[in-house]
Amino acid sequence: MKKNITINLQGRLYAFDEDAYELLKRYTDSLRNYFARSEGGEEIADDIESRIVELFDEQKRNGAETVTIEQMESIIHRIGNPGEMDGATSDTSDEGDNPEREDAPSSAGEQEEASIRQKRLYRNPADRKFMGVLSGFAAYLGGDVLFYRLGFVLLSLFFMFADGLRWVLLFVLLYAVFAMLMPVADTPEERLRMKGKKVNPQNLADEVSQAVRVKSGETPTGCIASFFFMLGVFGRGCIYSIGIMLAVFLLCGVGIFIAFMTLTSEELVKSILGDDNIWLFISDSSALSFFAALAVIILLVIPAYCIIHSLFTNFKQLKPMSFRLRLSLLIVWIVAFVATIIAGTRLVGRHDVWCAKHTEYRRAKNTHDGIYYMPHEWNFLSIRGWRVTLAENCNDRYTAVGQYYTGDPTVRYIDNWDDAHRQRFTIRRYEHLMPGTYRISGCVRAEGQGACIFVRLGAKSPAECYEIPADNNMGGNIWAEAVAKRDSILRRGEVRDSLELERLSAIAAANGARGFGWNRITLPDITIKKPQALYYGITTDPELTGRTWLGRWFSACDFTLERISKK
C-alpha cells in the first residue's frame, strides 16, 4: 500500500503516489539547477513545468486519477527533444551539450571524448556499503564495483596474515583519507559527471528516475550483493558506534586539556605529582607551551568535528562538506600535526636542559641538614620527629608502602634499600627526658644481618645496639602471635572484642597468610637520674654497630617511648 499525495501545480490539483511525487520533485529541482546558469533559465524551467501540467491533463482525460511512477517516467521522457533544449540554453557551461557553439564536438566520438574529459571522482552514496569510496572509483575507472570490493577485502586479508595488521591499518587509513577528500555525488548532475555522462534534461530524467527506484527498493540483489549489504549495515553500525565514542573521547580530551592549561593551580599539580617541576617548566616555557597546546587542541577538534559532521550527514541532518572545506580541514590538521611534533620535540629538548638547570635548585629546596628528601617523605618523617643523619647509596628513598604488617597497602613506614648492599644509613629521633625509667619498643624487619636499633644517652656517649632479626619478608613474631591469638579465640568461641579479632585476622592473612617478616622488639628499660637527651633509631653504619651490613633492605615503624616509672 502506497501513500497518495495531492499537490497544486499552476492552480490545478493532481494526485500522485509517493514514488511519483518524489520523482517529480527531484526532476523539477534538477532542471532548475541545470538551467540556473543560463540566461532566462527560470523562464525555461517554468515552460517545462507548464508542459508537464499539459501532459498531466492529458493523462487525466484518459481516465488516470492518480499519477504513478511509470506514468511520471513516461511524461518526463515526452517533455521534448534534449537537443532542442540544449540549443535554447546556449550560455550553459557544460561542454558538448550545445551544438551551436563553435568548439562543440561535432561527432559522436568527439562527444564521447568530451564526456570522458568532464568525468569526475565522487563518492557514490547510491551504491555504498560503507562510505561509497570504492563505488566512486568503479564509476570513475570503469568496471564492476564488486571486483573492487572483493579486491579490497582479499588484499586486506592477505596482508593481515602475511605481515600483521600494519598494512590493514594503512588500507583503512587510505580509505578514510579518500572518504574525507572525495566529494559526495548527491545531486543528479554530480552523479552524471561521476559516470562521465552529458548533463542534459534527458540524462537528468533518467538519473532521477533511477535514483527514485533505487530508493524505493526496486533494484534486484543477488547473494553476493546481499552479503555485502549485510556487511555494510554491520560495518556502518560499528563505525557509527566507534565514531560516537571517539568524538566524545576527543571532545572530553579537549575539555580536560583546556581545563588543565587554564584552571590548574601550582598547588594542585604539586599535590598530584608530589613536586612542582612540571608547573615550573610550563611557566618558564609559556610561549612554546601555549603554541603546543593550541596545536594539540586543533589536532583533536578537527577529527571530532569531522566525525560529528559525518554522522549528522549520514542521518540527513546536515549537508555534506564541500571539497574545499574537506581539503582545508585536512591541510590545517596536517599543519597542526607537524606543529605538534615540532613543538613537542622542542619542549622535550628544552625540558632536558631545564631539568639539568633546575636539579640543583630542586635538591637545595628539599635538602634538610645536608640530606635530600623527596617532599612527601620529608613530610612523613618530620611530622613524626625522625631525622636522617647518614645516607650513602640510599637511592634518595627512605620510606615505602605496601608491606605493612596488617596488610594495609596505604600505611607508610621507614624503609631503606640498595640491591648492591652498599648503603650506610642512620635515622634517629631526639627526646629530652626528665629523671625516670623509660621503655622503647618498635616494629622492625630486615632482609640480612647487620641492621640495628641503637640507643644513646647524650650526644657523645657510646651507643647501645640491638640487631634486627633477619626474617626477610615472611613470618615474624608479630604475625606468629596474631595467628596464635586468633586461633585461640576462635577455638574458645569467646569473641569479646570484634575489632581486636578483626585486627588479628588482618595480620594473620597478610602476604597470603605468610606475614611480612615484622618483629616487635622491646629494648631493655633505660633509667635516667638527671634531665638528659636521648637519641634512638635504626642504623646500618658499621662504625656505630660494629657489624657488617649484609642485607639489601630493612624496615621500621610504630616506635614508642613510654615512661614507666618516675624513679
Q: Mean pLDDT over residues 193-219, rounded?
A: 61
Q: Residue 379's pLDDT band (boundaries 50, 70, 90)?
A: very high
C-alpha cell read off for 25:
520533485
User: Mind listing the pLDDT tens digit for each residue in 229-247?
Assistant: 565 566 556 666 666 776 6
Q: Which of 117-126, 166-175, 264-273 has the lowest mean pLDDT?
A: 264-273
Backbone angles phi, psi at 529, to 5 degrees: -100, -15
Strands (E), 358-498: 367-368, 371-372, 387-392, 399-401, 412-417, 424-433, 436-446, 452-457, 464-467
Residues 6+ apart with CB under 8 A from 446: 468, 469, 470, 471, 472, 517, 551, 553, 554, 555
Residue 298 above 70 pLDDT?
yes
Q: Give the span between the Cα atoms of 380 and 382, in whole angstroms.
A: 6
Residue 84 above 50 pLDDT?
no
The reported pLDDT for the residue numbered 511 is 93
Provide the pairing of β-strand 452-457 with 371-372.
Answer: unpaired
Match 606468629 to its residue by C-alpha cell: 480
Q: Residue 217's pLDDT band (boundaries 50, 70, 90)?
A: very low
Residue 94 above 50 pLDDT?
no
Residue 303 above 50 pLDDT?
yes
Q: Mean pLDDT over residues 259-285, rounded?
A: 53
Provide the pairing of β-strand 424-433 with 532-539.
Answer: antiparallel
Percent of the chain residues topping a pLDDT of 70 = 68
The reported pLDDT for the residue numbered 103 is 41
The architecture of the domain spanning 371-473+516-565 is Sandwich (2.60)
Q: Mean pLDDT over residues 114-139, rounded?
A: 73
321 compared with 137, residue with greater pLDDT: 137
Q: Give the span between the Cα atoms of 404 and 515, in whole angstroms.
A: 9
* 357-367 b/e (C-beta count within 10 Å ≥ 16 → b): eeeeebeeebe
The reported pLDDT for the residue numbered 285 is 60
Other beta carbons within 10 Å of 467: 15
User: Mind listing the pLDDT tens digit for each residue in 71-81?
Assistant: 777 776 666 43
Q: Mean pLDDT over residues 414-427, rounded?
A: 91
Q: Mean pLDDT over residues 271-286, rounded?
A: 54
Other beta carbons within 10 Å of 340: 19
* 166-187 b/e (C-beta count within 10 Å ≥ 16 → b): eebeebeeebeebbbebbbbeb
Q: Mean pLDDT over residues 362-388, rounded?
A: 89
The reported pLDDT for the residue numbered 101 is 38
DSSP-derived letter for residue 469 is P
Q: Residue 183's pLDDT band (boundaries 50, 70, 90)?
A: confident
Which of these, 387, 354, 361, 183, lies nearest to 285 by C-alpha position?
A: 354
Q: Mean pLDDT over residues 107-124, rounded?
A: 58
Name the pTM for this structure: 0.46
| 389: three-class secondary structure by DSSP | strand
Give the amino acid at 401.
V
The reported pLDDT for the residue numbered 157 is 77
Residue 354 above 50 pLDDT?
yes
**Bridge partners for 430 per DSSP:** 535
Q: What is the mean pLDDT of the chain?
A: 76
Q: Which of 168-177, 198-207, 403-412 has the lowest mean pLDDT?
A: 198-207
Percent of the chain residues topping a pLDDT of 90 = 25
Q: Mean pLDDT over residues 49-56, rounded?
A: 73
Q: Mean pLDDT over residues 116-123, rounded?
A: 70
Q: Residue 505's pLDDT band (boundaries 50, 70, 90)?
A: very high
Residue 362 above 70 pLDDT?
yes
Sign of CA dihedral 36, 37, 43, 48: negative
The reported pLDDT for the residue numbered 358 is 67
The reported pLDDT for the residue numbered 87 is 39
Match 557514490 to its residue by C-alpha cell: 124
Highest-pLDDT range among 112-121, 139-148, 391-400: 391-400
Q: Mean pLDDT over residues 544-561, rounded?
A: 93
Domain boundaries, the chain: 1-105+197-218, 246-365, 371-473+516-565, 478-510
The reported pLDDT for the residue numbered 273 is 46
Q: Which of 30-39, 178-187, 512-521 has the lowest mean pLDDT?
A: 30-39
The reported pLDDT for the residue numbered 261 is 58
The reported pLDDT for the residue numbered 147 is 80
